[in-house]
Structure 1
Amino acid sequence: MSVIHIRDRQDMLEISFEDICKYHGGVALMAVAVGFRSLQVAFEELFGNEIPERKSISIFSGHGGPGFRDAFEYVTRAVTRGAYHVDTAYPVGQYDPFRPQSYAFVISSEAGASVEITLNDHFLPMAFYEYLKKGREETMTEADINIFKVLKQSLAEEALATPLEELFTIRRIQ
């Protein structure tokens, strides 16, 4: 099982995807999984083998959805600390053909180093965006809801199993 290690003052926490799912629920599992994995790659890039301190991390998200927000909040408490900002117009990772929504995240340390993590464009199928659009327009049937739930679960499992370098494009900013 894959975990993230993070320090919270004197405590060293070990957080799994399953832990975040208990906090989030089951609405946006793909986003929870991608958010979890983006933190893994960002921490590796920014801190190497050192375990980061929660209070030292800030996050800029190009996506305003609850799955990403909850993954970032549960691990870093960035939302609670006021260190979490969203701008869906961020120009990188704009794959949704129906609305501005970026699948890119900039994770920064208080030391000034930042890394941009972008979900690779081939990961989400067009059907994913079409179901999102139907949901916003409130035109989903019960069958659509069930199919979309299975799709999100499948994408979450794929995100957790895909090697980080195949899932994301990683760009060091500072």
Structure 2
Amino acid sequence: MTTLEVLDHGELISFSFDDLLKYHGTSSIGGVAHGFKVLERALPILGAGQPPERYEIDVETEFPGPGARDAFEMVTRAVTGGRYRVAPHLASGDAPTAPEGRYFFRLGYRGRTVDLTLRDGYVSDEFI
């Protein structure tokens, strides 16, 4: 199973999807899955193949869902650190519409920025 790896003041820590569910609970599992997959893709890019320092990762998104927010918080502590921001109109028109906002995520770390979005049609009405 894939884990997310970050550094906490130089110490390697990892999080599984189950870890994120233990933190968030079961109310917005889909959002937790979105957050996990965004981090799974972004962390290796942001850290240039190495785990990034969690307290230096910034998160901006148009998606205000609590599951994704909690996934980002557990791994990066961005909410607590004031580095998490829901920003309407952040994305271009290409990002798919979510029930609220759009599925668009921008993560930054030490001058690197990664923009990620879901594929259009990836989230079906049944999933929501």
Tell me the TM-score normalised to structure 1 length.
Answer: 0.67
Q: Which whole-Å CA distance do the structure 1 matches of 2:83 and 2:59 have between them?
A: 6
- How far residue 104 of structure 1 moved from its aligned partner, in angstroms, is 0.5
- The alignment's C-alpha RMSD in Å is 1.6
2:121 matched to which residue of 1?
Answer: 122
Q: Which whole-Å CA distance do the structure 2 matches of 1:89 and 1:10 have between them?
A: 35
Q: Which whole-Å CA distance do the structure 2 matches of 1:91 and 1:11 have between them?
A: 34
Q: What is the correspondence of 1:128-167 to structure 2 with a 5 Å cutoff?
A: 128=127
- How far residue 126 of structure 1 moved from its aligned partner, in angstroms, is 2.9
Task: Decide which moves more: 20-29 or 83-92.
Answer: 83-92
Deviations 1:36-57 (A, max 9, x none): 1101111122223211101111
TM-aligned CA distance change 1:26 to 1:48, over 3 Å = same
- How far residue 35 of structure 1 moved from its aligned partner, in angstroms, is 0.6
Task: Decide which moves more: 71-80 or 48-57.
Answer: 48-57
What fraction of aligned residue pairs are identical, expressed as a percent?
A: 36
Q: Which residue identity does 1:80 align to in structure 2?
A: T
Q: Which whole-Å CA distance do the structure 1 matches of 2:111 and 2:67 have between them?
A: 26
1:15 matched to which residue of 2?
Answer: 15
Deviations 1:62-107 (A, max 9, x none): 11110010000000000000000002443442424xx651111000
1:95 matched to which residue of 2?
Answer: 97
Q: Which whole-Å CA distance do the structure 1 matches of 2:88 and 2:124 have between them?
A: 20
1:75 matched to which residue of 2?
Answer: 75
- Whether the 8 Å CA contact 1:42–1:115 is kept in 2: the answer is yes
Stretches of 4+ aligned residues off by more than 4 angstroms: none
- Of structures 1 and 2, the larger Rg is shown by 1
1:47 matched to which residue of 2?
Answer: 47
Q: Which whole-Å CA distance do the structure 1 matches of 2:30 and 2:101 have between them?
A: 15
Q: Which residue identity does 1:18 align to in structure 2?
A: D
Q: Which runs of 5+ in 1 are unaligned?
A: 130-174
Q: Which whole-Å CA distance do the structure 2 matches of 1:49 and 1:10 have between them?
A: 15
- How far residue 128 of structure 1 moved from its aligned partner, in angstroms, is 4.2
More helix by share: 1
